[in-house]
Structure 1
Amino acid sequence: MALLTRKTRSWLTPALLLFPPVALFLAVIVFTSFQSVWISFHRYDGFGDLTWIGLGNYEELLQDPQFFVSLRNNVIWLVLFMLAPPLGLAVALLVNQKIRGMRIAKSLFFVPLVLAPVAVGVVFSWVYTPQIGLLSKVFSLFGAEAPALLSDERWVTFAVVGAALWPQIAFCMVLYLAGLNNLSEDLIAAGRVDGAKGATMLWHIVLPQLTQVSFIAVAITAIGALRSFDMISVMTAGGPFGSSSTLAYQMYEQSIFSYRFGYGAAIATVLFAIMSVFIAWYLSRVTRNDARSS
């Protein structure tokens, strides 16, 4: 009986500790995800009954020009956000140097990470403001007039992505700093004995040890780009004329302001499918590379 009790305790305690988070994940994430997919096949205003329309919402998506504008903007976010991991690595390599005053520089680079996205959006809205913003002051030094980026349909998405990159680079920097602090000193010493230094040391000794960190940085950055919402909400509210909207913001706009929860759920389902395809492709690439290296 004592042996049975000991065996029972070996799995009962972990099971009890895991039950609350697993139950919360199933209730908040998994169940609501399936519910969102189910709602996407209905016409629903958030208050009345669900009305089954099948693929009606998805057919409307294919005829909605705003959906393709939002989809294009998500692609722009994804492509430009991929600059965050290499730039974060570059900053991490810089601030990881043992130079006097580098701790202060490290703190300054860390600041964007602790700021709320709303605060970052407000700051960059002022930076981009014509006549009085920081950007206009820089342009005035060269006798030029700063463009109104947030009012220009051609450049507004790039301006918002530029603002969002600031904290994302800081996040990647922190990840790479943690990885740099866990590098194998034996491998580095062996590389130095073989004459490796500079770019050779970085490419053949340092970067292979940062593979897992890079995987996390790229995956989180890609997910952040695909679900971009808060910076758009603060800086442009999807404008001008919907030119800066993304799928996440269009979903919010259709559901909350237009009371079209079924249509918003269809947009959310498409966004979820895109994220799933990207993550599956990325995981397959990483798994294949790990198999080759081993």
Structure 2
Amino acid sequence: MMSAYWKAHQRRLAPWLFLAPGAILFLIYVLIPIAQSIRISFLDWDGLGAPVWIGIGNYVELAEDEAFYTSLKNNVIWLALYMLALPAGLLIAIFLNQNVRGIRTYKSLFFFPFVISQVVVGLMFSWFYAPGFGLFYKLIEWATGTGIAVLADERFVTYGIIAAGLWPQIAYVMILYLTGLNNVAPDQVEAARLDGAKGWKMLWYVILPQLRPASFIAVVVTVIGALRSFDLVSVMTDGGPYGTSRVLSFFMYEQALSEYGYRMGYGAAIAVVLFAIMMIFISGFIWKMWRDETER
């Protein structure tokens, strides 16, 4: 009976059998934890005792929390400035996509930041900015007469951490675009050259349209990287000075898993807000990509 059913529906069932392991893992490790986080966000719970249902109480408290708005503002700054990784990574990829002597050495040098741990990047830039002996501090002191303690100054601390994050992020985007450039159709490039296209016209009308898949992945990983910027903030400033460098992921950790009281419900509410922001950006870009593809 089963054998006859399988033979009759093999072509229709085979794809689902291949998808099943991945779909089950996605359900267990992604969808169920998301649903549990949303449920916990409606609770007053320390992670050990009995949870108490408080409805939207955590979200009401969030709406009145100045630390939340500071973290949200910093995340917006992270998102805006992290997008610089896209044009920077593309330009470096175009530069490296050449067959000249020594290009492999240059590729290795530009690839190097990507393989370094974020913790190591944070420590390196902490020394780079360090008052008294840091290279950046010394350069500013030499140029202006007065050094700037970037990580101790409320005006500059967020931008200093973002600069540290952009270094490996640009390398990541560069790798994605290098892969995309290897798949650019050479016949289209040659046809465009015969038509007189070169420089920016070649890039805009011939190269970039073929890099849409790479651009999509680059935008997604850049948005995710900007919103999950916990490690650099933790290593470089621990949220300081006076909480001014907090981002939502670090604020969530502070509330849920640190000495602030193990407020799992409040931390889950922050996580839900962070997830919603991430989904808005990524869904919007997916919709734009789908619309562009259907209009072609």
| Shorter-chain TM band | over 0.9
Distance in 2 (alpha carbons) for counterparts of 1:58 and 1:242: 20
Distance in 1 (alpha carbons) for counterparts of 2:292 and 2:203: 19
Does the C-alpha gap of structure 1 residues 7 and 230 become closer, same or farther in structure 2, counting only changes over 3 Å? farther
Distance in 2 (alpha carbons) for counterparts of 1:67 and 1:139: 33
Tell me the CA shift for residue 146 of structure 1: 2.7
Distance in 1 (alpha carbons) for counterparts of 2:6 and 2:230: 51
Distance in 1 (alpha carbons) for counterparts of 2:154 and 2:75: 15
Q: Which moved further from structure 2: 254-263 or 133-142?
A: 133-142
Distance in 2 (alpha carbons) for counterparts of 1:64 and 1:89: 39
Who is 1:280 aligned against? 283
Who is 1:89 aligned against? 90
Q: Which moved further from structure 2: 130-139 or 242-251?
A: 130-139
Who is 1:27 aligned against? 28
Percent of aligned positions that are identical:
51
Who is 2:128 aligned against? 127
Distance in 2 (alpha carbons) for counterparts of 1:225 and 1:11: 41
Tell me the CA shift for residue 228 of structure 1: 1.6
2:137, 2:149 within 8 Å by CA — same for their partners in 1?
Answer: no
Per-residue CA deviation, residues 220-264 of structure 1 (Å, 9 max, x unaligned), is 101211222111111111111110111111011100112100100
Q: TM-score, normalised by structure 1?
A: 0.93
2:62, 2:68 within 8 Å by CA — same for their partners in 1?
Answer: yes
Q: Secondary structure at the match of 2:191?
A: helix
Does the C-alpha gap of structure 1 residues 108 and 239 become closer, same or farther in structure 2, counting only changes over 3 Å? same
Who is 1:153 aligned against? 154
Distance in 1 (alpha carbons) for counterparts of 2:144 and 2:224: 40
- The ranges of structure 1 where at least 4 consecutive aligned residues each deviate by more than 6 angstroms after the TM superposition are none
**Aligned residues between the structures:** 293
Does the C-alpha gap of structure 1 residues 7 and 76 become closer, same or farther in structure 2, counting only changes over 3 Å? same
Per-residue CA deviation, residues 14-40 of structure 1 (Å, 9 max, x unaligned), is 555543332222112111111111111
Who is 2:44 aligned against? 43
Distance in 1 (alpha carbons) for counterparts of 2:278 and 2:228: 9
Does the C-alpha gap of structure 1 residues 153 and 188 become closer, same or farther in structure 2, counting only changes over 3 Å? same
Unaligned stretches of 5+ residues in structure 2: none
Tell me the CA shift for residue 11 of structure 1: 6.7
Who is 1:267 aligned against? 270
Unaligned stretches of 5+ residues in structure 1: none
Who is 1:107 aligned against? 108
Distance in 2 (alpha carbons) for counterparts of 1:145 and 1:108: 33
Tell me the CA shift for residue 136 of structure 1: 2.3
Q: Which moved further from structure 2: 86-95 or 225-234?
A: 225-234
Tell me the CA shift for residue 180 of structure 1: 0.8
2:131, 2:147 within 8 Å by CA — same for their partners in 1?
Answer: yes
Q: Secondary structure at the match of 1:195?
A: coil
Q: Secondary structure at the match of 1:78?
A: helix
2:129, 2:135 within 8 Å by CA — same for their partners in 1?
Answer: yes
Q: Secondary structure at the match of 1:110?
A: helix
